[in-house]
Amino acid sequence: MAGSRVLVTGAAGGMGRSHCVTLAQAGADVLALDLEDTRHELDATAEAVRATGRTCVAETADIRDTAALRAAVDRGANTLGGLDVVVANAGVYDVPGPSWTIDPQTWRRSLDVNLTGTWNTVRAGVAHFAGGGSVILVSSTAGIKAIPSASHYSAAKHAVVGLARTLANELGSRSIRVNTVHPGSVHTPMIINSRVFSRLCPDVDNPTEADAAAVLASRNLLPVPWVDPVDVSNAVLFLASEDSRYITGTQLVVDAGLTQKV
């Protein structure tokens, strides 16, 4: 990845920060992007990247806002001298309950961020590619199998796969590869919070992380409750690098066997 220039969205924390640091450790310079109200955390990501000796440009925009996103990506890419990789990582996970209870605003937010925001990101980033590159869309195991009480999320993440497959066909002649990564449960604030613990353990008063871990571990083939952010970042690094130079239109699953357990 030496000398590569990478855009990562959702970069202020969690998997996004891990992607930024992992790619920087492999030699990439990073355009880290997230919402304005994450500026403090985004600056921490930038410092972590710079500690590796690589350049980091931090920009803020809402990926749902096409004009603002394009302007932010243009500024950052121009500073870096272009882009070679796009990692569309930003997403939201709302869990309201069965499909018929989901309110229209929650449904729209999931589709707008997880799907349309991903499309916006690719459009803004690929405009700065020259001579090929790699696009990695972060989907989910919810993009492979059904997730009860999260139909809005699962619908968006399934659609991301269709988007990636289409983009792989459209961009292949320009030597641009497009693939999806599908994490299972990841040890980030999206999973490690009291709301999710209560959903996983409805019969337990004030469930703890240990309670939730026991439930999640029972769903996996491997005896672990979740993967760590760096495990997903290592998959992103592989798809971003020349090690995967002839891989496009595929789905790389990092889920400890969640989608394969019967």
Which residues neighbour 32 within 8 Å (Cβ) at sequence distance 6 or greater? Answer: 8, 11, 12, 16, 20, 42, 45, 46, 49, 56, 57, 58, 59
Q: Is there a catalytic annotation at residue 153?
A: yes
Q: Which of 153, 237, 239, 255 is catalytic?
A: 153
Q: How many CB atoms lie under 10 A from the CB of residue 43?
A: 14
Please give the backbone phi and psi of residue 13, each rounded to the nearest 5 degrees, phi first: -170, -170
Burial of 48 (0-12, 13-18, 19+ CB in 10 A): middle
* Angle, CA of 40, 46 and 49, to the nearest 5°: 145
DSSP helix/strand/coil, 32? strand
Which residues have a catalytic role annotated? 153
